[in-house]
């Protein structure tokens, strides 16, 4: 993300090197990482994904609770079958009920695992689509960002503008120091969040039951018949 924006800014802000021969060089800075994080569509998309995660987490927990309840019912039936006071017919009926519940538990185990895998994939794809949409939107408004940058360049007679959120090949900040008075990130954020901007990102429809956080559970041993 930052690389795309930095490349766009660099290509449009190329200034003649002759500026270095004119005395004091005036430099401005922008923190494109902060600009991206404070872009309203980024926050809205993150909230939508997080809401989807919470909804799926609740559905997963509901399925798990139903599974545990079914398992308790099977264990209770096993205890009843241990009673010597039961008639043969009653014991046969209880054994049949127990076996039906065991089969149901096996189906629930399979459905829970399929639910987790399917919903995680759905949410991952949804998040990627939203992020791609945000990238496209930001690239679509680069020209407006450049208008802000160029206005500052002209008004303050600047020679260079750097993205101070960038890192060098060694993983350290490429710009080690800059005065806050040289920074106009706020102007860029204001341009990005200008009211009335159309958006395609938030029209992304959430998955029917988006994936919640990965929940690892150990399969509970299926009760054995007595």
Which pLDDT value is given to residue 197? 59
Which whole-number Å values give the CA distances from 207 to 108, 119, 122, 124, in the listed order?
22, 8, 6, 10
Which pLDDT value is given to residue 69? 92
Which pLDDT value is given to residue 198? 56
| H or E stretch at 225 | none
Which pLDDT value is given to residue 28? 80
Which pLDDT value is given to residue 155? 82
Strand, coil or helix: what is 158? coil
Which pLDDT value is given to residue 203? 52
Radius of gyration of the chain from Cα atoms? 30
**CB proximity list for 197: less than 8 A, separation 6 or greater:** 141
pLDDT digits (tens, 9 = 90+) for 109-132: 999 999 988 988 888 888 888 777
Residues of the chain with pLDDT under 70: 1-23, 138, 140-142, 144, 197-226
Which pLDDT value is given to residue 48? 83
Confidence (pTM):
0.48
Cα angle vertex 146, ends 27, 15, to 5°? 45
Which pLDDT value is given to residue 120? 87
CA pair distance 223, 226, nearest whole angstrom: 9
The DSSP code for 23 is: S
10: tokens are: 């660099």
């Amino acid at each position: 993300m930052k690389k795309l924006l930095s490349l766009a800014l660099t290509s449009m802000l190329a200034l003649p090197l002759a500026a270095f021969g004119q005395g004091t060089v005036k430099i401005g800075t922008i923190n494109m990482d902060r600009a991206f994080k404070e872009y309203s569509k980024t926050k809205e998309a993150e909230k939508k994904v997080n809401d989807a995660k919470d909804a799926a987490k609740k559905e997963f927990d509901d399925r798990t609770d139903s599974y545990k309840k079914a398992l308790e019912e099977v264990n209770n039936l096993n205890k009843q079958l241990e009673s010597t006071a039961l008639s043969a017919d009653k014991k046969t009926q209880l054994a049949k009920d127990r076996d039906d519940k065991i089969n149901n538990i096996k189906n629930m185990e399979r459905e829970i695992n399929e639910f987790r895998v399917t919903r995680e994939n759905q949410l991952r794809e949804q998040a990627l689509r939203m992020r791609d949409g945000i990238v496209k939107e930001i690239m679509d408004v680069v020209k407006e960002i450049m208008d802000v940058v160029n206005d500052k360049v002209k008004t303050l007679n600047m020679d260079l503008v750097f993205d101070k959120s960038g890192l060098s090949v060694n993983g350290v900040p490429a710009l080690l120091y800059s005065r806050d008075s040289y920074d106009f990130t706020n102007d860029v954020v204001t341009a990005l969040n200008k009211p009335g901007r159309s958006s395609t990102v938030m029209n992304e429809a959430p998955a029917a039951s988006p994936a919640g956080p990965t929940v690892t559970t150990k399969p509970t041993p299926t009760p054995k018949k007595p």
